[in-house]
Amino acid sequence: MRRALELAESALGRTWPNPAVGAVVVRDGLVIGKGATQPPGGPHAEVVALAEAGEAARGAILYVTLEPCSHWGRTPPCTEAIIRAGVREVHAATLDPNPKVHGRGVAQLREAGIEVHLGLCEREATRINEGFFKRVRTGLPFVTLKYAMTLDGRIATRTGSSKWITGEEARTCAHRLRDRADAIMVGVGTVLADDPLLTTRLPPELCGYGGPHHPLRVVVDSRGRTPARAAMLRRDTPGRTLVACTTLAPEDRRLAWQDAGAEVAVFAPEDGRVPLEALLRYLGDTGVNTALVEGGGTLHGALLDVGLADKIVAFVAPKLIGGEGAPAPVGGRGVADMASALELADVRVTQVGRDLLIEGYLRI
């Protein structure tokens, strides 16, 4: 199952709206087939693993990180492939939260005489697909706020200089987060200040399968200030871009974005801004399971103020820069007293080069 989990992780960012699943076929203690979910329309992990195993799958054991699907979608049910292959035993880490599948895949396999076990490495498997689980249950993607700051809590100097707060190892780690995300979100302030590409820049050996994956870029731009010549909108920039604006954005600017190849989502403004819950629901409706937010304090604070963030990933550099005008990673309204402070759960601290990586969940 550990190998199946590794395969599932290698598929993150590449399978949405489907979950990232890994599967391993074992016979006489040897792995004879393995697979990960392919991009939408391609085969699921179980089918890939069984195809690799071939006739040797008959009488073998299948380990899979999620309950096999039992319904027709873009591909046939995985349960049919498992039954047809003659597998004698299936270990599934967890049930699928999708009502079309939940428990039905297990029932079909058992009806066919296959021995089915549940719960092996369930916590790890659920964490890998925490975005899929949340979207299926709430309609919203799993939102991670990611930022790099100095030891005194600054994301740039008072003049706006921010390259580079962290070392190369931490920046590589940040790009690995992008490689695994379905979407990456920034505010228009970040676009105007940095003109970022928001692509994944990693060697293939550090990426999931298929080499670097470029998540859907989402720019939150209420009044239409993103230049049509922004770097991320260039035709030679890999990946897709979505600009989320309000009806306050000029029509000619919206058309310019579309002419540059961007998708545009227009919302009725709330207090003059893009309504963030409506935007996240829009992304969820398109199948986005995970959104990595790399904005500044304004966007981070706005998401925290309305309770839409699920996880924090903070890189902390052993540097002090001071300055009353130096920006912090979280703005917004904030809390009035310490008793109302947002506390993280399941916190993990890792040293990455000279920097610290602090991760924790705002809700479990």
201 is in an annotated binding site: yes
Q: Are 260 and 228 in contact (CB under 8 A)?
A: yes
325 is in an annotated binding site: no
Residue 135: Cβ-neighbour burial (10 angstroms; 0-12, 13-18, 19+) = buried
Rounded distance, CA 23 to CA 6, Å?
10
46 is an active site residue: yes
75 is in an annotated binding site: no
Q: Are 198 and 186 in contact (CB under 8 A)?
A: yes
CA distances from 301 to 154, 310, 313 (A): 14, 13, 14
207 is in an annotated binding site: no
Distance of CA 137 to the CA centre of its chain: 16
198 is in an annotated binding site: yes
298 is in an annotated binding site: yes
300 is in an annotated binding site: yes
12 is in an annotated binding site: no
User: Which amino acid is it at 258?
Assistant: Q
User: Which amino acid is it at 182?
Assistant: D
> Pick the catalytic residue: 9, 46, 115, 251?
46
Distance of CA 118 to the CA centre of its chain: 25
Q: Are 39 and 14 in contact (CB under 8 A)?
A: yes
222 is in an annotated binding site: yes
190 is in an annotated binding site: yes
Which of the residues are catalytic? 46
- Cite the annotated binding site for Zn(2+) by residue number: 44, 69, 78
- Cite the annotated binding site for substrate by residue number: 162, 178, 198, 201, 294
- Cite the annotated binding site for NADP(+) by residue number: 148, 164, 190, 194, 222, 296-302
- Cite the annotated binding site by residue number: 44, 69, 78, 148, 162, 164, 178, 190, 194, 198, 201, 222, 294, 296-302
